[in-house]
Amino acid sequence: MTDSGGVLDILCDIDFELQRGQTVAIVGASGSGKSTLLTLMAGLDTPTRGTVRIDGTDIFALDEDQRAALRARKVGFVFQSFQLLGNLTALENVMLPLELAGRRDARAAATQLLQRVGLGQRLGHYPKLLSGGEQQRVALARAFVVQPALLLADEPTGSLDFATGARVMELMFELNREQGTTLVLVTHDRAIAQRCQRLITVEAGRALEVAEAPA
């Protein structure tokens, strides 16, 4: 990656393979490269070297449009900073990926999921009128709503109180069980990391697998 200060190596020597349906926690100190790793896995950032395959497809061999189309079909992403669209209501934010996929039941499906994350009373609110935790839940609903094969979430419970965070985690693990969604979570929460089958620790840009639960 290059910035105004020249070339900066953020991640290197990273090589791992995830099986469909696995639950994976990515942990590590602030600034170690966890968010960078997650954005590379989604093809939202391009590596200087190396590649990422999703279901056998080399995502960096695709052009922007093809990569966006593959992402729309298979990948849900929850940003650390939520990245909701400010000119759309909570409901419209969650409906958007469904509408882009041509789903006629977008409104009903988005409403149902927002109710499931406890935001049934906030459908018409714009992001700036929502608390941080509420925005985080809208972002989660938007990522879930297309039932992605792969869900990448950057500290998905970071802004939530204990009870809401626990409910949101249950929802993610339910999705994993019900739909075989592969879950990759960046988290600082030990309890969440321990519930995952694999634990990948990022340390100064290198990924170290410290534990893999028996299959």
Ligand X SMILES: Nc1ncnc2c1ncn2[C@@H]1O[C@H](COP(=O)(O)OP(=O)(O)OP(=O)(O)O)[C@@H](O)[C@H]1O
Examine residue 89 and tell whether it contacts Mg ion (CB under 5 A).
no
Examine residue 31 and tell whether it contacts ligand X (CB under 6 A).
yes
Cβ atoms of 53 and 59 within 8 Å: the answer is yes
Closest CA to 183 of 209, 156, 164: 156
Examine residue 111 and tell whether it contacts Mg ion (CB under 5 A).
no
In the 8-state DSSP scheme, what is residue 177?
H
Q: Given the complex with ligand X, which of 92 and 154 has the nearer CB atom?
A: 154
Cα 34–chain centre separation:
12
Closest CA to 197 of 23, 17, 3, 2: 23
- x/- letters, 79..98, toward ligand X (CB under 6 A): -x------------------
Examine residue 32 and tell whether it contacts ligand X (CB under 6 A).
yes
Number of amino acids touching ligand X (CB under 6 A): 13
Examine residue 156 and tell whether it contacts ligand X (CB under 6 A).
no
Cβ atoms of 171 and 116 within 8 Å: the answer is yes
Q: Given the complex with ligand X, which of 38 and 114 has the nearer CB atom?
A: 38
Examine residue 23 and tell whether it contacts ligand X (CB under 6 A).
no
Measure the CA–CA gap between 98 and 121, rounded to whole angstroms: 21
Which residues contact ligand X (rule: CB under 6 A)? 1, 3, 8, 10, 28, 30-36, 80
Which residues contact Mg ion (rule: CB under 5 A)? 35, 80
